[in-house]
Amino acid sequence: MVTTKNFLSGRAIAPKRIHRKTSIVELVEGAFLAYNAARLREACQLFTQKMLQPDVTIGMSLTGALSPAGLGMAAIIPLIENGFVDWIVSTGANLYHDTHFGLGLSMHQGSHQANDVVLREQGVVRIYDIFFDYHVLLDTDSFYRAIIAAPEFQRPMSTAEFHYLAGKYVAERERKLGLKKKSLLAAAYKHGVPIYTSSPGDSSIGMNVAAMALDGNRLQYDVNADVNETAAIVLEAKRSKGKSAVLIFGGGSPKNFLLQTEPQIQEVLGIAEKGHDYFLQFTDARPDTGGLSGATPGEAVSWGKIDPEQLPDTVVCYCDSTIAMPIFTAYALAKHRPRKLKRLYDRREQMMARLQREYESAKRGG
């Protein structure tokens, strides 16, 4: 029988006063008590209490202009270095703009109310309230065209392979310039974190690859390898008696690419599986418009993307990622010690071999 006590059993809202020495943990746990602040608290606690267990493989998707705002060096690199992220799906734009910092190029705070006609006349590019010189684009384009011309790029490869090789060159440029931990591409290369791009042609990196093809360059993105490698990562996590978690900033194509690993395993390859175990998303998209960015974990269950038994371990926080990510990262670093790196990039062949075996077995079994 449901009684009044059932509804009033939650924690009483009586937070301590915020003071000048309030820590990030005290702020999140003590003052984030309702609405999307509460969802952010729940996200932080789900991440640190369950998702960061040693047997959980964490995939993160990145959408929106996060790296231009400095979140690559401020938040994403610390997550990578501490073993809190094992593989990534990102827009190509985030990786392109991340490269600026690794090359010693600068972006600046500006005003979203600036006159864009005047900015164009002065050779200044605007991303809302971020300004940078047009030559930042040209210099970064030149860097990518130079490395793409190298012999090691003259073949088809997954976007993870491409970003690993590009990260090697960015890391070397950082070293020569005396820069420290500016580029997430360089950090992912050093820590064996594979980075995939769901739409590799949809960025300035892809545009330069296409331009080089006109000159006879033989680099091609192998999107089939991307689809199968990401599915293999998730299957390996499950078959190793572990769990799979998704950490989503924004939505869009990277979110779907991260989540479609389970339908690829179950629906397309015919391998018995249940879905991801943990789902955590920060988004400003509404679910009622039918867009993927706002699709809830409950809807994802109907596609086989999320294990229905794990719905209690899902959180959606409706918040700008540029607000949520720094708080989320600071809380995680304060609450959880570093995890051992999984270095999934180094294990791609092994994981693909398992996927191939299980696919062949599923076909034989009808």
Tell me, what's the pLDDT at 45?
A: 96
Tens of pLDDT, residues 89-132: 999 999 999 999 999 999 999 999 999 999 999 999 999 999 99
Tens of pLDDT, residues 280-313: 999 987 777 776 676 666 776 776 777 777 777 7
Tell me, what's the pLDDT at 7?
A: 87
- Please choose, from the candidates 333, 337, 298, the residue with its C-alpha nearest in 3D space to the C-alpha of residue 315: 298
Percent of the chain with pLDDT over 90: 86
Contact 313, 276 (CB under 8 A): no
Tell me, what's the pLDDT at 294?
A: 67
Give the residue numbers marked as catalytic. Answer: 305
Contact 190, 254 (CB under 8 A): no
Contact 328, 84 (CB under 8 A): no
Whether residue 87 is predicted with pLDDT greater than 70 in this model: the reply is yes
Tens of pLDDT, residues 6-30: 888 888 889 999 999 999 999 999 9
- Domains of the chain and CATH, by start: 17-364 (3.40.910.10)
Residues in the chain: 366
pTM attached to this predicted model: 0.94
Handedness of CA 152, 155, 161, 167 (dihedral sign): positive
Tens of pLDDT, residues 125-172: 999 999 999 999 999 999 999 999 999 999 999 999 999 999 999 999
